[in-house]
Each structure stands twice: as C-alpha cells, then as structure tokens.
Structure 1
C-alpha cells in the first residue's frame, strides 16, 4: 500500500474525530447532565480547534509532499 493512501486515511480519521468531538460537545444530553458545562469553555474549544487544524495542516503537508515526490 502506498504511503499516500495511508496519509489520506489519517486525514479522513482526523476529520471524523473532529466531527465526533464537536457532536458530543454540542449535544443536548451533554449540556443537560452538567449545568455549568457552557461556562468557561471558549478557551478549551479554541485550543481544541487549533490543535485539530494544526494536525490537519501537518498531515496534508506530508500528504502533498509525498504525492509530489
């Protein structure tokens, strides 16, 4: 199996992980169990989003570097 396909698979898994994280974080059931859930989470969501974005950029950079090799 080519490394390009593996990097593509990593990107797909990362995007699915982001979607799953956001779905759980914004779910009504999650908010109703913890009434204070919404307070003070802005920084956490920002850091989490930046971490995901950084990982996607790194994975895509490696992907395109291998693709053009």
Structure 2
C-alpha cells in the first residue's frame, strides 16, 4: 500500500509542476485568459491539498 501511495504522490507532484508551468505559459501570452488561469490555479490548489493528505498518510505519527 505504501508503494502505491508513494507512486500516487509522485504523480501528483508531477501534475502540480505541470500546472505551474501551464499557468506561467498563459501569463506569458500578450492577452492571458484569466478564466483559464483561475481554473488552473484552483486545480493546482486541489492537487496541493491531495499531496498534503498523502504526505500525512505516509508520515508516521510521533508521540511526544
């Protein structure tokens, strides 16, 4: 199970980077599509939240 989570985490991190590059490319255009940029940013935030959830699952709880 842990290997599957790590693989999924890697895929999400790649997707997050790809979304970041897509957003940067849209901003580089002379007349950027603000609606598309906003949608990509929301998608990027969802991916970021999912990454955080997976990282929490993979990190063992430390009892102080």
* TM-score range normalised by the length of the shorter chain: 0.5 to 0.7
CA distance in 1, matches of 2:47, 2:57: 15
- TM-score of the superposition, structure 1-length normalised? 0.59
CA distance in 1, matches of 2:57, 2:18: 24
Please tell me the root mean square deviation across aligned C-alpha atoms, in Å.
2.7
Aligned counterpart, 1:11: 9
Which is higher, the Rg of structure 1 or of structure 2? Answer: 1
Partner of 2:51: 56
Provide structure 1 residue ranges, at least 5 long, that are not aligned to the other structure: none
Which structure 2 residues correspond to residues 23-34 of structure 1 after superposition, within 5 A?
23-27=21-25, 31-32=29-30
- Corresponding residue pairs, total: 58
Structure 2 runs not aligned, ≥5 long: none
Aligned-residue offset at 1:14 = 0.3
Q: CA deviation at 1:43?
A: 5.0
